[in-house]
Structure 1
Amino acid sequence: MAPTAPPATAADLPAATVRRLPEYLRALGALSETSVETVSSETLAAATGVNSAMLRKDLSQLGASGMRGVGYNVAALATHIAGVLGLTKDSRVAIIGLGHLGQALARYPGFSDRGFDIVGLFDADPGIIGKDLDGIQVRDVALLARAVRDEGINIGVIATPGAAAQHVADLLVDAGVTSILNFAPCVLAVPQGVVVRKVDLAVELQILSFHEHHKTLGPQETQYRKTRKESQQTGTVT
Structure 2
Amino acid sequence: MKRAEISRATLGRIPQYLKYLKTVFPATDNISATILAKELGLGEVQVRKDLAAVSGAGRPKTGYRVDDLILSLERFLNDGEDSRVVIVGAGKLGRALLDYGGFGEYGLDITAAFDIAVTKPEFSHIGKPIFPMADFENFCRDHRVKIGILTVPSSQAQEVCDRMVKAGIRALWCFAPCVLRTPENVLVQYENMALSLAFLNKKFKG
Q: Which structure has the greater CA radius of gyration?
A: 1
Q: 1: CA distance between counterparts of 2:12 and 2:105? A: 15
Closer, same or farther: CA 44–162 of 1 in aligned 2, 3 Å: farther
Give secondary structure in 1 for the equivalent of 2:202.
helix
Q: In 1, are the aligned partners of 2:98 and 2:128 still within 8 Å (CA)?
A: no
Q: Paired residue for 2:123, among 113, 132, 135?
A: 132
Distance apart, 1:138 and its partner CA: 2.1
Tell me the equivalent position of 1:84: 76
- Partners of 1:93 and 1:155 within 8 A in 2: yes
User: Within 5 A, what are the aligned runs for 1:148-187?
Assistant: 148-187=140-179
Using the alignment, how far apart are the partners of 1:150 and 1:99 within structure 2?
A: 25
Q: Which of 209, 213, 231 is equivalent to 2:201?
A: 209
1:199 and 1:49 map into 2 onto residues whose CA distance is 29
Gapped runs of 5+ residues in structure 2? none
Residue 2 of structure 2 aligns with an amino acid whose one-letter code is A
Q: Give the Cα–Cα distance (whole angstroms) in 2 for the partners of residues 12 and 95 of structure 1.
A: 22
The answer to whether the Cα contact below 8 Å between 1:182 and 1:197 also exists between their aligned partners in 2 is: yes
Deviation at 1:52, TM superposition (A): 3.6
Unpaired runs of 5+ residues, structure 1, are: 1-9, 215-238
C-alpha distance in 1, partners of 2:151/2:82? 22
Within 2, Cα distance between the matches of 1:12 and 1:34? 26
Question: Hey, what's the Cα distance between the residues in 2 that align with 1:34 and 1:158?
Answer: 36
TM value normalised by structure 2: 0.81
| Alpha carbons 1:23, 1:48 under 8 Å: kept | no
Paired residues for 1:90-109 under 5 Å:
90-109=82-101
Is the contact between residue 157 and residue 180 of structure 1 (CA under 8 Å) also seen in structure 2? yes
- Give the structure-1-normalised TM-score: 0.71
Give the counterpart letter for 1:120 in structure 2: A
Whether 2:8 is the aligned partner of 1:19: answer: yes
Any idea what SS the aligned residue of 1:105 has? helix
Question: Partners in 2 of 1:73 and 1:141 — Cα distance?
Answer: 48
Cα contact 1:90–1:117 (8 A) shared by 2 = yes
- Tell whether the 8 Å contact from 1:162 to 1:186 is kept in structure 2 after alignment: yes
In 2, the alpha carbon distance for the partners of 1:191 and 1:53 equals 40
Answer with 36-45 or 24-33: which moved more.
36-45
Q: Which amino acid aligns with 2:122?
A: K
- How big is each residue's C-alpha offset from its partner over 1:176-233, in whole Å with a ceiling of 9 and x where there is no partner? 111222222223222122222222222221221122101xxxxxxxxxxxxxxxxxxx
Q: Secondary structure at the match of 1:34?
A: helix
Matching residue of 1:223: none
* Distance (Å, rounded) in 1 between the aligned partners of 2:60 and 2:21: 21
Instruction: Determine the structure 2 residue equivalent to 1:65.
Output: 57
Aligned mates of 2:162, 2:94 — CA distance in 1: 19
AA aligned opposite 1:25: I
Shift of the 90–62 alpha-carbon distance from structure 1 to 2, 3 Å rule, reads closer
CA RMSD of aligned residues (A): 2.8
Could you report, residue by residue, the CA deviation over 1:83-116 in whole angstroms, capped at 9, with x for unpaired residues?
2344420222211101111011111122345543
Distance in 1, matches of 2:23 and 2:109, equals 26
